[in-house]
Chain A
Amino acid sequence: MSSRPYDNRAWLGVLPVVLIVAFSAVIPLMTVVNYSVQDILDFNSRFFVGFEWYRETLNDPRFVDAFLRQIGFSATVLALEIPLGIFVAKGLPKNSRMTPFLLVFLAVPLLIPWNVVGTIWQIFARADIGLLGVAINAMGIDYNYTSEPMHAWLTLVAMDIWHWTSLVALLSFAGLTSIPEPYYQAAELDGANRWQVLRFVELPRLKGVLTIAVLLRLMDSFMIYTEPFVLTGGGPGNTTTFLSQYLATMAVGQFDLGPAAAFSVIYFLFILLFCWLFYTSVVARDE
Chain B
Amino acid sequence: MSWMAWTLPTALFFSAIAASLVTMTLIELRWPTVKRRGFLPMATTRGDRFFISLLSAAFIHLLWMLLVGGGLLWATVLAVFWGVALMRWG
Query: Which residues of A are at the interface with B, using a C-beta cutoff of 8 A?
Result: 1-6, 8, 27, 30-31, 33-35, 37-38, 40, 43, 46, 48, 50-51, 54-55, 58-59, 266, 269, 272-273, 276, 280, 283-284, 287
Contact = CB atoms under 8 A, between A and B. Distances in A.
A261 to B, nearest CB: 9
Given A51-B65, A51-B72, A46 B33 contact: no
A283 B43 CA distance: 10
B9 A6 contact: no
Contact of A38 (B7, B41, B51, B62): B7
Given A6-B33, A8-B32, A58 B14 contact: no
B39 interface: no
A48 B32 contact: no
Main SS of chain B's interface residues?
Answer: helix
A132 B75 CA distance: 53
B7 A34 contact: yes
Contacts of B41: 284
Contacts of A8: 28-29, 32
Given A5-B34, A8-B29, A34-B10, A46 B58 contact: no
B1 to A, nearest CB: 10
Contacts of B72: 51
Which of B10, B32, B34, B58 is most buried by chain A, counting CB atoms within 10 A of its CB? Answer: B10
A3 B3 CA distance: 47
B55 interface: yes
A276 B69 contact: no
Interface in B9-24: 9-10, 13-14
Contacts of A50: 9
